């Protein structure tokens, strides 16, 4: 056993780290994601400051944090600040799997349109309490833009919080699933083989 000063410092740092991790585990264990005041700290989505920020991100092809609707797998909500402390505003983005469909290396991209008020060109903005918004949400996702040499191609894909992705070619009602082998890279024989092991 070495007994020089560097060895002791290394061991002390390790003990402090382990003690700190143990302390954090004891503090947060069994509180189900809530802080000491009973507030739920996990949201799963980012709340933007302004509506214009979201619209700019869509137009520029920048990543967007969103929440998937619990009842409609084509609807995705993007939250932003409201004037009231206990509420938030959101807009709805609607996926259009057959519009501008692209596939790159098994990742599928499609067009998303912004929901407008019926009969107008105004963006449909809804304001609800935070607890009501939580009831509307099924999953959380990150919208990633389709970029090529020419820049943003006006398409997005989704990566969900559980690492599933957007599935545009799926014939089932859900648009969420595992990445699939790319048709342009693998022969049909190897696609079947890969899909067998993915499942």
Q: What is the pLDDT of residue 74?
A: 87
Domain identity same for 91 and 168? yes
Task: Report the alpha-carbon distance of residue 196 to residue 176 in Å, rounded.
Answer: 18
Do 87 and 129 share a domain, yes or no? yes
The pair of structure tokens assigned to 84 is 């009231």
* The token pair that represents 42 in the structure block: 């996990």
- Round to whole Å and give the CA distance between 61 and 48: 16
- For residues 178 and 131, state if they share a domain: yes
**Residues 87 and 152 placed together within one structural domain of the fold:** yes
Binning pLDDT at 50, 70 and 90, where does residue 186 land?
A: low
Work out the pLDDT band at 161, boundaries 50, 70, 90: confident
Range 31-53 average pLDDT:
70
What is the C-alpha to C-alpha distance for residues 156 and 62, in angstroms, rounded to an integer?
9
* 68 exposure class (CB count in 10 Å sphere: 0-12, 13-18, 19+): buried
Chain segment 15-29, per-residue pLDDT in tens: 888 888 887 777 666
pLDDT band at 92 (very low <50, low <70, confident <90, very high): very high
The whole-number pLDDT of residue 81 equals 85
Find the largest Cα–Cα distance for the chain: 80
Most confident by average pLDDT, 55-69, 154-168, 169-183:
55-69
Mean pLDDT of 65-77: 90
Same domain assignment for residues 27 and 84: no
Helix (H) or strand (E) holding 58: helix 51-60
Residue 167 has pLDDT above 60, yes or no: yes
Evaluate if residue 141 carries a pLDDT over 60.
yes
Asked if residue 113 and residue 25 are part of one domain, the reply reads no
- Percentage of the chain with pLDDT > 90? 19
pLDDT at 174: 64
Clarify whether residues 74 and 169 are in a common domain: yes
| 98 pLDDT tier (thresholds 50, 70, 90) | confident
- Residue whose C-alpha is closest to residue 154's, from 117, 122, 114, 121: 114
Q: Quick one: pLDDT at residue 121?
A: 84
- In a shared domain, residues 179 and 82: yes
Domain co-membership, 103 together with 26: no
Task: Give the Cα separation of 47 and 179 in Å (integer).
Answer: 28
User: Are residue 89 and residue 115 in the same domain, yes or no?
Assistant: yes
Pair 123, 170 in one domain: yes
**Stretch 25-45: mean pLDDT:** 62
Backbone conformation region of residue 33, classed left if phi is above 0, alpha if psi is from -120 to 50, else beta: left
Q: How many structural domains compose the chain?
A: 2
Q: Give the structural domain span for 10.
A: 1-42
- Please state which of the ranges 21-25, 93-97, 137-141, 182-186 shows the lowest mean pLDDT: 182-186
| Residue 52 CB-density burial (10 A; 0-12 exposed, 13-18 middle, 19+ buried) | exposed
Residue 72: pLDDT above 80?
A: yes
Give the angle subtended at the CA of 51 by the CAs of 166 and 159, to the nearest 5°.
15
- The reply to whether 104 and 81 lie within a common domain is yes
Structure tokens at 186: 């693998």
């Amino acid at each position: 056993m070495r007994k020089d000063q560097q060895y002791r410092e290394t061991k002390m740092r390790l003990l402090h780290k382990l003690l700190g991790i143990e302390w954090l585990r004891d503090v947060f264990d069994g509180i189900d994601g809530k802080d000491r005041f009973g507030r739920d700290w996990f949201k799963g989505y980012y709340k933007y400051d302004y509506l214009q920020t979201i619209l700019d991100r869509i137009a520029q092809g920048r990543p967007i944090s969103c929440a998937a609707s619990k009842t409609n797998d084509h609807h995705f909500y993007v939250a932003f600040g409201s004037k009231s402390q206990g509420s938030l505003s959101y807009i709805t983005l609607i996926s259009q799997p057959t519009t501008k469909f692209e596939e790159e290396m098994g990742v599928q991209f499609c067009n998303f349109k912004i929901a407008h008020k019926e009969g107008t060109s105004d963006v449909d903005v809804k304001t609800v309490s935070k607890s009501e918004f939580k009831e509307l949400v099924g999953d959380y996702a990150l919208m990633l833009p389709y970029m090529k040499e020419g820049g943003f191609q006006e398409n997005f894909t989704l990566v969900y919080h559980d690492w599933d992705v957007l599935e545009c070619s799926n014939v089932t009602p859900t648009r969420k699933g595992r990445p699939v082998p790319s048709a342009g890279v693998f022969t049909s024989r190897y696609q079947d083989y890969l899909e067998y092991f993915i499942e």
